[in-house]
């Protein structure tokens, strides 16, 4: 997912959407300027563009209420208050009909990122936390700890759900969670609110590659540890060279002499919805890519080894013994520490 560096917030408004109140509390004015709130929102916008759970989405062709109100704001930013209220009301109607959708504060923001104009809807689902409370009676003061239901995510946490609309091409950056709608868990934001088509998130793409890799190794290599390490090593090499996970590179490196299996690997990935040949890897996603392999023996011994070592006979060797057992030989060790 692409990132942005320079963020300038033009407008912010806060609407309170809590179905237990009976009506949405819609703000009649923009949020007053506050440097701390600006910093808070800029930090969350920056995190949103890096979020590996965010996915690209697109409005369906045809009449779309949300796209229309976004276009209205883009064409005339004086409509910002009224149009965000319309959006908040649409959300609240969904929440009122489906009580499993959690209450939230909806922060709407018109902002610029690296020179492009965006409209963001940040859904701040309430978190439960504990605060102190001082109760004064006639004769005594009692300090208590009480549970606060409506606290918001702090600047170090990620927002659970958000919608960011590029006001040039009206593409959408979307992060959403499934909620129970008419008895079934669904993504209500994309399906019912935005009525959009979406792609896979970066995390979902990597999970597909990992699951297909594991399946191929199970089906064709009897869960061979070295073969799994070859695939992981090819993935790491691809990232280090190009900042992408290159499917062609992985299949060539892992199944060098088996063109048929290369085709099977690619087809399995496509069947699961990943049609792209490369996956861009930003800093946050890079941290999630496994660079070690944990081995667990039948008697509970655990060994964590860099995947590059598993394919290097100068570092580790698996010896098949005549009695059917396996010995693991670690080589060229200069020092061992206890952790």
Token pair for 104: 């939230």
Q: How far is CA 203 from the centre of its chain?
A: 6
Token pair for 188: 């209500």
Q: Is 15 left (phi over 0), alpha (psi -120 to 50) or beta?
A: beta
**DSSP state letters, 211-235:** HHHHHHHHHHHTT-HHHHHHHHHHH
The pLDDT, as a whole number, for residue 150 is 63
Rounded CA-CA distance 329/313 in Å is 9
Q: How far is CA 196 from the centre of its chain?
A: 18
Rounded CA-CA distance 169/83 in Å is 19
In order along its 339 residues, the chain shows pLDDT tens digits of 567 878 999 999 999 998 888 899 999 999 999 899 999 999 999 999 999 999 999 998 888 999 999 999 999 999 999 999 999 999 999 998 898 898 999 999 999 998 899 999 999 988 777 777 788 888 888 887 877 766 667 777 788 999 999 999 999 999 999 998 888 899 999 999 999 988 899 999 999 999 999 999 999 999 888 888 889 999 999 999 999 999 999 999 999 989 999 999 999 999 999 999 999 898 888 888 888 888 888 888 888 888 888 878 888 888 889 998 889 898 888 888 887
Residues 6+ apart with CB under 8 A from 168: 116, 117
Q: For the chain, which residues make up each domain, given as ranges? A: 7-122+156-199, 203-330
Rounded CA-CA distance 182/316 in Å is 55
Instruction: Please say whether the beta carbons of 133 and 98 come within 8 A.
Output: no
**DSSP state letters, 16-62:** EE-GGGSS-B--SSPPPP-HHHHHHHHHHHHHHHH-TT-EEEEEPSS
Q: Measuring CA to CA, which residue among 154, 174, 155 is closest to residue 166?
A: 174
Instruction: Please say whether the beta carbons of 111 and 120 come within 8 A.
Output: yes
Give the pairing type, strands 302-306 and 326-330.
Answer: unpaired
């Amino acid at each position: 997912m692409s990132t942005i560096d320079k963020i300038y917030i033009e407008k912010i408004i806060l609407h309170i959407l809590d179905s237990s109140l009976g009506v949405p509390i819609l703000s009649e004015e923009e949020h007053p300027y506050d440097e701390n709130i600006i910093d808070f929102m800029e930090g969350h916008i920056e995190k949103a563009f890096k979020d590996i759970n965010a996915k690209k989405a697109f409005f369906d062709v045809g009449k779309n209420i949300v796209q229309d109100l976004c276009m209205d704001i883009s064409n005339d930013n004086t409509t910002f208050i009224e149009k965000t209220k319309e959006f908040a009301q649409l959300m609240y109607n969904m929440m009122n009909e489906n009580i499993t959708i959690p209450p939230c504060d909806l922060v709407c923001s018109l902002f610029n990122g690296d020179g492009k104009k965006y409209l963001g809807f940040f859904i701040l689902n309430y978190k439960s936390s504990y605060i102190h409370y001082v109760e004064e009676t006639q004769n005594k003061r009692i300090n208590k700890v009480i549970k606060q239901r409506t606290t918001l995510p702090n600047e170090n946490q990620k927002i659970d759900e958000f919608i960011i609309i590029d006001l040039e091409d009206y593409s959408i950056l979307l992060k959403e969670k499934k909620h129970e709608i008419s008895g079934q868990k669904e993504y209500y934001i994309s399906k019912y609110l935005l009525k959009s088509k979406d792609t896979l998130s970066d995390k979902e793409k990597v999970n597909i590659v990992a699951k297909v890799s594991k399946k191929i190794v199970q089906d064709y290599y009897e869960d061979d540890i070295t073969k799994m390490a070859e695939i992981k090593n090819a993935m790491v090499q691809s990232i280090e060279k190009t900042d992408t996970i290159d499917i062609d590179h992985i299949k060539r490196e892992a199944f060098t002499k088996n063109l048929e299996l290369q085709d099977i690997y690619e087809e399995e990935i496509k069947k699961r919805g990943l049609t792209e040949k490369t996956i861009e890897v930003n800093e946050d996603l890079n941290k999630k890519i496994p660079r070690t392999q944990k081995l667990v023996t039948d008697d509970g011994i655990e060994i964590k080894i860099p995947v590059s070592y598993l394919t290097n006979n100068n570092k580790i060797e698996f010896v098949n013994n005549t009695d059917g057992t396996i010995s693991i030989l670690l080589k060229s060790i200069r020092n061992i520490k206890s952790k």
